[in-house]
Structure 1
Amino acid sequence: MVGIALLGAGIFALEQHLPAIEAAPSSFELKAVYSRSQKSAESLASSSSSSVDVYFDTPAVEGKSLDDLLKREDIEAVVVVLPIPAQPGVIRRAVEAGKHVLSEKPVAKDVEAARGLVSWYEGEKRGELWAVAENWRYLESLEVAAAKVWELVTKREGRVTSFRLERFGFVAEGDKYFNTEWRKVPEYQGGFVLDGGIHFIAGLRMLLAAGGEEISSVACFSSLLEERLVPVDTVHAVATTQTGRNGTIAISFGTEFKRGTQIEILTTAGSVVWTPVSVTTVVKNEKGEMVEEVKEFKAGSTGVDREVVAFGEAIRRGSLEARQTPAEALKDLEIVQGLLESGEAKGAVKNVGP
C-alpha cells in the first residue's frame, strides 16, 4: 500500500479525488492533505473517513508547510488538484522531493509552459512517475466507443471519413465552479474553454486514435456569449487530421437553451455516436441493411475512481499507461490552444503539435 497525500481542497478534490483515494484501500493509504490556507485544509480533512494530517502555508506554522509534507518518507505519492497556474510549480517540487505525482488536467496553462515542464521531467531520468489526470479517458462509455471505432476500422476494414464533437451547456451565475475566484478572473487562456473544454477534446482524440487518426490543424471562430465567462466561452471549428479527414468541433459554456455532449465518428464501415450515457453503433448486416446497436451506461460516472486505481497500478508496475502520460495531456492542450489562437486570428488555420 502506498502512502499518499492530497494537495488541494477545492470542489473537485473534495467531491472526486478524496472519495476515489479512500475507495482504493488496496492501492493507497491517505496520510495527509494540503491546501494553501489552514481553514480549507482543515475543512478537507474533516471530510475524510480517516484521521489525516493537515498541512498549509497560510498562516505560517512550523512543521505544517507543503515543504514539510514533501519531506515525509512515508508519503510516496501525491495528487495535485490546485488552480491551473499553481500546478506546474508544485509538480516540480513534488517530483524533486521523490514523490510520484498525479496532477489534474490541463497539464499547464499553455503549450509553452507544458512543453517546458515535460522537457524538464523527461530530462530528469528519475524513478518518480508523473501522471496527468484526464478522467474522461477512464469513462467506461468512452472505452466502449473507442473499441467500436477500432472494430469498424480494423475488423471491418473501414476508414474514418469525418467526425463531429458537440458540447453545449451553460455555466450559471450560481454554478459552484464559476464561484471560485481563480475561475471568475482566470489567469490563463480560454477560461472554461480550457478548464472544461479540454475534457471534450480528450474524448474526441481518444475516439479518433482508435480509428488511426490524430488532429493536425484547426480553423476556429470564438465568441463570448456571457460577459462574465471571460475571455471566451464558445468555439466553433473545423479540424483536419494527418490524413486529411475533416470534422467539426463546437464547444459552448454560454448556451442556455441547448445542453448535451456528443461525439460522432463516421467511417466507410459504419458510425459510432457517443454520449456520456450511451454508445450507438450503426453498421450494415450481410443483407446490406442498416443495423443499430445501443449500449447504455449509468449516469454520473466521472472516471476519477478508475484513473486513481490506474495510477496505483502504475506505481506498482513502474510505468504509466499511455493515457496518463504528460505527452498525451500535452496533445490535448495543443489542440485547445490551437482553437483559441485560431479564434483570436478570425479563423486562421493553426497547426497543432510539435
Structure 2
Amino acid sequence: MTTGIAILGAGIFAKEAHLPALAALGADALPLLAVYSRSEKTAHECSEAAVELGLTPAPAIYHDDSEDNLDSLLARADICAVIAVLPIALQPSIILKALAAGKNVLSEKPVAPDVAGGLELIKTYNDKYKQSLVWRVAEDHEAEPGFRAARDIIEAGKIGKVNFFKAVKTGYVDVDNKYYKTPWRTIPAYQGGFLLDGGVHTCAALRVLLPRLLTHVSGFASLNYDHLKPHDTIHAVVKAGSNFHGIVELSFGFPTESTPEADLFVITGSEGTMTVNFIKEDGASICRLLITRAIKVEGEPTEEVVEVVDEPVGGVKVELASFFEAIAGKPTLALGDPLEALRDVAFIQAGLNSEGQLIDLNKLLAEGK
C-alpha cells in the first residue's frame, strides 16, 4: 500500500504555496493522495492544480455534502498525515479530529485564535497523542533559510552583542485583495483580523533572529479602515528581560501599495548592524541580509565593512521537508513546535490588549489571559 498525505483546505495558500513546495521536493515528499475542501469546486481546482505541477495521479477529491467527505478521507488507512490549511477559527477542531483518526498533522499558522485556546489544544495533544503522532505548526518565516542564516551570523558574534532592534511589517489590504475576498477573512471570527493572520509571521521571524525570547510588550492597537475590522495596526515597544529591547510596527492599513519599509528587520549590535528584508531580483524572491560592521584600530573606528548575503525564499519547502523527516523518525530541524508558535499569538494578543500597559508574555502563556 502506498502511504501518502492529504491537504485539508483548498484555498489560495494551499494552491500557491503548498502544492509548489510538494512538487519541488519531488521524491522527498510523500505522495499527495487526497484533497478536502468544504466545496466541491475548490477541491476540484486544487486537485487540478496539483496535476498541472506534476503531482500525479490526480489527488482524490473530498468535500462536504458528499459521501466522500472529511470523515471518509480520515478513515483512509493509506493516508498517514494531513496538511491543514483551513480558516483560523476552524483549524483547532480539525487538528483534533485528524489526530483522533491517527493522522500526523502539519497545521498552518496561527496555532490557534487565542492563547487560552492554544494552551488547551496543546495540552490535549501532549496528553493524548504526542507519544505516537507528530503535530507541527507550519510557520514559513521560522523555516526561512534567510532568517536562519541571519541567526547564525548573530550567534557567531559578527555584529557583537545585540543591543536593540526594529521590526516593521506594513502594507495595505484593500477589498480587491485575493486574501480579503475569502469570506472567513472578510468578517473574521477571531481577534486582530489580518494582524493575527499575517502578523504572526513577523513574530516568528523575531523568534529566529533574536538570541533571546521576548518577555514584555507595551503597545497600542487601532483600526484605520473599517473593512479591516477589528484592528489593522499595532505599534509596540518590547523587551527581552534586561538583555535588549526594540520596536515592532505591524500594519495592514498603510495608505499606498509602496511603503518605505514593507518587510524590514534591523538588528543593532555592539559592533555593527544587520538588516533583513525580502526583495525581488530577476523575478526571484530573495531574503537579503546586509551586515555593516565597524572596523576598529586601537579602539577607534577606521572604516565600515559591508557584507551582503542573499538566500532564496523557500520556507514552505523547508517546513514540509522537515515534517516528512519527523514523521519518518529521522533527525530534522527543530521546527513547528506548537508552544513556540503560541508565543507568536501571545505577542499579537498582548499588542491588541495592552493599551499602553506592560504585559508579561511568559505570564500570559502560563495563564492564558
User: Are 2:88 and 1:84 aligned?
Assistant: yes
Matches within 5 A, 1:257-336: 257=256, 258=259, 259-276=261-278, 277-285=287-295, 287=297, 288=301, 289-298=303-312, 301-317=313-329, 321-336=333-348
Aligned equivalent of 2:180, options 170, 178, 181: 178
| Change in CA separation of 1:2 and 1:248 when aligned onto 2, cut-off 3 Å | farther
Runs of 5+ consecutive residues of structure 2 not aligned to the other structure? 279-286
Provide TM-score, normalisation by structure 1: 0.91
Q: 1:220 deviation in Å? A: 0.6
In the alignment of these two chains, the number of paired residues is 340
| Change in CA separation of 1:253 and 1:187 when aligned onto 2, cut-off 3 Å | same
Aligned to 1:39: 41
SS, match of residue 215 in structure 2: strand
Q: Is the 8 A contact 1:136 1:302 kept in 2?
A: no
Aligned equivalent of 1:122, options 119, 122, 126: 126
Give the % identical residues. 39
Distance in 1 of aligned mates of 2:269 and 2:296: 18
Aligned to 1:192: 194
Q: 1:4 deviation in Å? A: 0.4
| Change in CA separation of 1:318 and 1:122 when aligned onto 2, cut-off 3 Å | farther
| 1:144-183 Cα deviation digits (max 9, x unpaired) | 211111112xx77x32211110111111221100111110
Aligned to 1:111: 115
Aligned to 2:59: 52
SS, match of residue 144 in structure 1: helix
Q: Is the 8 A contact 2:319 2:335 kept in 1?
A: no
Distance in 2 of aligned mates of 1:173 and 1:255: 14
**Segments ≥4 residues shifted beyond 3 Å:** 318-321
Q: 1:256 deviation in Å? A: 2.3
Distance in 2 of aligned mates of 1:271 and 1:104: 32
User: Are 2:169 and 1:167 aligned?
Assistant: yes
Q: Is the 8 A contact 2:322 2:335 kept in 1?
A: no
Distance in 1 of aligned mates of 2:151 and 2:217: 22
Q: 1:41 deviation in Å? A: 1.2
User: Are 2:221 and 1:217 aligned?
Assistant: no
Q: Is the 8 A contact 1:129 1:318 kept in 2?
A: no
Q: What RMSD in Å do the two structures reach over aligned CA positions?
A: 1.7
Distance in 1 of aligned mates of 2:43 and 2:315: 25
| Change in CA separation of 1:303 and 1:351 when aligned onto 2, cut-off 3 Å | same
Runs of 5+ consecutive residues of structure 1 not aligned to the other structure? none
Distance in 2 of aligned mates of 1:70 and 1:323: 25
Distance in 1 of aligned mates of 2:22 and 2:310: 27
| 1:76-98 Cα deviation digits (max 9, x unpaired) | 01000000011001100111111
| Change in CA separation of 1:321 and 1:144 when aligned onto 2, cut-off 3 Å | closer
Matches within 5 A, 1:123-138: 123-124=127-128, 125-138=130-143
Q: 1:286 deviation in Å? A: 5.2
Distance in 1 of aligned mates of 2:143 and 2:356: 32
SS, match of residue 228 in structure 1: helix
| 1:212-245 Cα deviation digits (max 9, x unpaired) | x111110111111211111111111100112352
Q: 1:314 deviation in Å? A: 1.3
Aligned to 1:230: 229
Provide TM-score, normalisation by structure 2: 0.88
| 1:110-142 Cα deviation digits (max 9, x unpaired) | 000000000110111431100100001222221
Letter matched to residue 65 of structure 1: N
Q: 1:305 deviation in Å? A: 1.5
Aligned equivalent of 2:358, options 320, 345, 349: 349
Q: Is the 8 A contact 1:198 1:332 kept in 2?
A: yes
| 1:44-90 Cα deviation digits (max 9, x unpaired) | 11222121111111x2x22x111111111110010000000110011
Letter matched to residue 55 of structure 1: Y
| 1:4-48 Cα deviation digits (max 9, x unpaired) | 000001100111112222332322101000011222212211222
